[in-house]
Structure 1
Amino acid sequence: MASIKEVAKHAGVSVATVSRVLNDKGYVSEEARKRVQKAIANLDYRPNAVARSLFKKTSKTIGLLVPDIVNPFFPELARAVEDTLSRHGYTVILCNTDESKEKEQAYLEMMMQKYIDGLIVATNTLTAAQVTKYNIPVVSIDRKISKELPGIMVENKKGASMAVRFLKKKGRKRIAHLRGPSYIPNAVERCAGYLEVVGEEPWFKESYIAEGNYDMTMSIESTIRLLNMHPDIDAIFAGNDVSAIGAIKAIHKLGKHVPRDIAVVGFDGIMLSEATTPELTTIAQPIYELGEIASATLIKIIEQQADDQTLYTLPVQLIERQST
């Protein structure tokens, strides 16, 4: 591969002149510019992206921090972000943090060294102070960091209430909840939506709520404990689809049938919810749209385009399938 020195020699100009042409910065005569462009074409020269980012303090690269790449929600979200940003000439660095403060901070330091142009974060541990100190545009997605930073969310509480009311209309009398981690705001909102509908029911006890932790293994274990403690449970609203799938597996392990004995509703609308047996009824988020809007919002900030709207709350919808 040709070097910048070879381009300069071929064009009969200095390396500095070639650099000015490549970066479109500084005066270059029209004649010299044409010679450089011709030399670049003849030698098939490709500028070093790292060197250019060091020079320009920009890289056309965006960082995407997600907490759990195993959860199918986040790969679907990442796909939307990557699709949208690539159409605008950006590449994406995907970082899986495992809900670890140390990993998040290490990724932030690494990306700053690469001069990323902006950051999209789905995080529960980073604070506004941590991300804003780097003085780069930041957009939060799915999980709000602060009121000061742009955020793209969905109607978590409303969606949860919708799910539980739907189960009541189906004739279910004892509805349990597999909640997500208490440190995740959307899990708190979904639990609040559940309580809004059944919290005042005469049968309700706090023990009808169990930790699903947005994790399949824990949801299986928690569902078995729930059903052994409250054999009258005839429906479960799970905080996400992964937990709902775990609940279905647990119900089958106990020799019960979904939905005849126990109906199950999840939350997210991941593609996997259509592949379960039975197919999962779910409160579907517009996952792709979340990624699109987050990416478009970040690009506007990077390119200094005026945009008064910084907080988006997208609607959800109930998709009825075989599990109810």
Structure 2
Amino acid sequence: MVSIRDVANLAGVSIATVSRVMNKREYVSKNTEKKIIRAIEELNYVPNPLARGLVGKKMSSIAMIVPDIMNPFYPELVRAVEDTCHKQGYTVILCNTDDKKYKEKSYLKVLKGRGIDGFIVASSMLDKENIATLEKENTPCVFLERLPCDKPRSLIQVDNFNGSILAVQHLLDVGCNRIAHIYGPQEVPTYQERMNGYEEVVKSLPWYTSSYMIAGDSQMEGGFKAVEKILDRHPDIDGIFAGNDLMAIGALKALQRRSIRVPEDVAICGFDGIAVTIMTEPELTTVAQPIYEMGELAASTLIGKINGDITDEDSLYVLGVELIHRNSTMKMRKT
């Protein structure tokens, strides 16, 4: 069996030099690199997928890091990334972190050693140390929705602030007089922006106090529990804006459990536009993100960076949103 020592002997270099070339960790002269690659080809040395990538100069693989694959938003997003990458000859490795920092760091450690060409990151758990490592190795990255630090990056997001204004104003327009907000984790900028949009609309209204805002955990269960708490505080609410569709679905279930009619007694609007919102009863009004377009743009931007067609590290794409009016906010009939 051919070993890395055989490659080093044929190329006339040390094992450490072969390892540096294979792992792309330190600078090796072009001539030395060519000798090593020639030796790999001649000996047909293939210890793992990395060697095949070296011979072809790149792996044609990208990694996509998502925080919660159980959230229906992310499978829709991943599908768009995979479709776009497949057309360009790239494969996609999916990494689910459950929003846990140690899992994200573990994925990066493993994948960097396997010659991944670039990363699409839909998470804010990366720390400055990991970002610095990616920068040192010139690993192309594109971030979705949230940045891991305050330095300029290639970022794709939607207009969360104005989308929330759209949602809350819609609830007022259909006759709501007291609107609660179920917000997601505030360490995530997306949810901060959506809360700010809510406050922008209601802060000057005579009934408003901060007690109309209640924390959820971005899941259906969080929306359910939030409604239980908000009704204890303000049983007179007649509108709910949830920071994402999953929390809105949980809120709908909690209201129905209490025999509170939607939308006649309380109207509900979510945010994201995931497909499951047309399966609820009543169907859920939502501020829809262009999910597929986001995935397409992320993949095409990353591939452009890998191929050297895009060199601007400071690119920012802000996509628009659309209010989809469904039965959960139909004009209320007061009885």
State the one-letter code of the partner of 2:108.
L
Answering whether residue 147 of structure 2 is matched by residue 140 of structure 1, we say no
What corresponds to 1:182 in structure 2? 186
CA offsets, 1:283-308, max 9 Å, x none?
00000000010111101110001465
Identity %: 47
For the residue of structure 2 that corresponds to 1:99, the secondary structure is coil
Alignment of 1:285-296 (within 5 A): 285-296=289-300
Unaligned runs of 5+ in 1: 5-14, 17-24, 27-45
Verify the 8 A CA contact 2:301 2:310 in the aligned structure 1: no
For the residue of structure 1 that corresponds to 2:217, the secondary structure is coil
C-alpha distance in structure 2 between counterparts of 1:190 and 1:139, whole Å: 22
Pick the aligned partner of 1:196 from 200, 209, 213: 200
For the residue of structure 2 that corresponds to 1:282, the secondary structure is strand
Answering whether residue 124 of structure 2 is matched by residue 155 of structure 1, we say no
User: Shift of residue 224 of structure 1?
Assistant: 1.1
CA offsets, 1:114-164, max 9 Å, x none?
110000001122135523413200100122334421000000000000000
What corresponds to 1:323 in structure 2? 328
Answering whether residue 66 of structure 2 is matched by residue 66 of structure 1, we say yes
- Taking structure 1 as the reference length, the TM-score comes to 0.83
C-alpha distance in structure 2 between counterparts of 1:55 and 1:131, whole Å: 27
C-alpha distance in structure 1 between counterparts of 2:147 and 2:128, whole Å: 10
State the one-letter code of the partner of 1:97.
T
State the one-letter code of the partner of 2:143.
S
State the one-letter code of the partner of 2:324.
I
C-alpha distance in structure 2 between counterparts of 1:207 and 1:69, whole Å: 32
Alignment of 1:305-316 (within 5 A): 305-306=309-310, 310-316=315-321
Pick the aligned partner of 2:234 from 226, 230, 233: 230
Unaligned runs of 5+ in 2: 3-9, 12-32, 35-45, 330-335
C-alpha distance in structure 2 between counterparts of 1:307 and 1:108, whole Å: 23
State the one-letter code of the partner of 2:322.
Q
C-alpha distance in structure 2 between counterparts of 1:318 and 1:132, whole Å: 39
Alignment of 1:220-299 (within 5 A): 220-299=224-303
Q: Call closer, same or farther: CA 1:102–1:57 in 2, change over 3 Å.
A: farther
- Taking structure 2 as the reference length, the TM-score comes to 0.81
Q: How many residues align?
A: 287
State the one-letter code of the partner of 1:311.
L
Runs of 4+ in 1 over 2 A off after TM superposition: 48-51, 54-58, 144-147, 306-309
State the one-letter code of the partner of 2:110.
M
